Amino acid sequence: MAAETAAIQAYSQLDEDDVQARIRAAREKLGDEVVILGHHYQREEVFQHADFSGDSLKLSRQAAASQARYIVFCGVHFMAEVADILSRPEQVAILPDLGAGCSMADMADLAKVERAWRELSQVLEPDEAVTPVTYINSSADLKAFCGRHGGIVCTSSNARHVLEWSFQRREKVLFFPDQHLGRNTGHAMGIPLEEMVVWDFDQPLGGLTPEAIRNAKMILWKGFCSVHQMFRPEHIDRFLERHPETRVISHPECSFEVCQKSHYVGSTEYIIKTIAEAPAGTRWLVGTELNLVNRLAERFRPEGKQVHFMSPTVCLCSTMFRIDPPHLAWTLENLVEGRVVNRIQVPEREAAQARAALQRMLDLPV
């Protein structure tokens, strides 16, 4: 580890242009042996090298379908885990910086979720009454938990579809780790707010009464995305006072109040598609990560579209920001030398159970 740290420090001291040149040179030497994946929220200096860009599930499926032996995921840890789970046995998933995690995913760990399941059994029979649903922004062991208990994975694009499937099988849903995606999706389906309770994992029985659990349709984990919680309803109000013609579009990880004030709510792919298809000359206020918003503003400027970031303060995904050009150069140059660094490998039993939960989602009719 000390040697790796020293190597990264040496790369970090290089001139930016030199680092970029070394990335391109290594990429050319590796050819079809490697595929570089760039998540929408990735910084531009790294994003420019991506062979595929998009959200985490889309990228993992594209990598698995490629002929590449090495999958270099410029995202965060859970994304590289999904790539490993869905890829072929001979493919190797790599995360350029192991410190690139997800604070929301960390809010629901396996020990806490298993404890919640045990505590729910004091009130009802969870394996008969509750479908566990994990957002794809979660660790592999939580996907495996869902696989073991008849549960499923969802994305921000298909959360409603997944919840409909879940309620066809069991009366209730335990939704983790992001309470806001669960609440916003449930509300759009017509579930009353009072039937969506929050499970506080630091409190006995989630801080709920047995009656509240019995009456609940959805049990929402007390988790959130720190980036999307930066956006406030007053940000929308102030902007619309100055520019009343603006269309407001937000990611469903935003708070309920922000989503209720938005004209459109959807995943990153939905946000991109909606703005792309909008008439020229329109103005947009966007509630999602800064790198993506800046990229959209640049892309659609020639069409006269004005794309604005919702928060008056900078908020980007700080953990994904850890994937920088020096780490990417270090990763690729090691591959050129025949060395694999920072491999992400999910244990096979855990991967099989997680794959089962993912496959239930992938098998849903489009």
H or E stretch including 84? helix 77-86
79 and 12 housed in the same domain: yes
219 and 128 housed in the same domain: yes
Tell me the pLDDT tens digit for each residue of 132-157: 999 999 999 999 999 999 999 999 99
47 and 122 housed in the same domain: no
User: CATH number, domain at 203?
Assistant: 3.40.50
Per-residue pLDDT, 200: 98
Per-residue pLDDT, 313: 77
259 and 333 housed in the same domain: no
Is residue 358 assigned to a domain? no
Is residue 353 assigned to a domain? no
Is residue 293 assigned to a domain? yes
Per-residue pLDDT, 12: 84
Per-residue pLDDT, 40: 87
Per-residue pLDDT, 262: 98
Statement: the pTM of the whole predicted model exceeds 0.85: yes
Question: What are the φ and ψ backbone dihedral angles of 342, each rounded to 5 degrees?
Answer: 55, 45
Is residue 9 assigned to a domain? yes
71 and 149 housed in the same domain: no
- For 148, the token pair is 């073991």
The list of the chain residues with pLDDT below 70 reads 1-3, 314-318, 320
Q: How many domains does the chain have?
A: 3
Is residue 356 assigned to a domain? no
251 and 184 housed in the same domain: no
112 and 215 housed in the same domain: yes
Structural domain of residue 112, as residue ranges?
105-226
User: CATH number, domain at 56?
Assistant: 3.40.50.10800
Residue pointed to by tokens 């531009």: 44
Is residue 247 assigned to a domain? yes
Decide which of 195, 226, 257 is a domain's last residue: 226
Say whether 308 sits in a helix, a strand or coil.
strand
Per-residue pLDDT, 339: 96
Kindly give the residue spans of alpha helices, DSSP state H, lying in 138-289: 140-148, 159-169, 179-188, 210-215, 233-242, 256-261, 268-277
266 and 326 housed in the same domain: no
235 and 333 housed in the same domain: no
**Contact indicator for 41, 292 with CB cutoff of 8 Å:** yes
Per-residue pLDDT, 318: 65
Is residue 362 assigned to a domain? no
Per-residue pLDDT, 321: 74
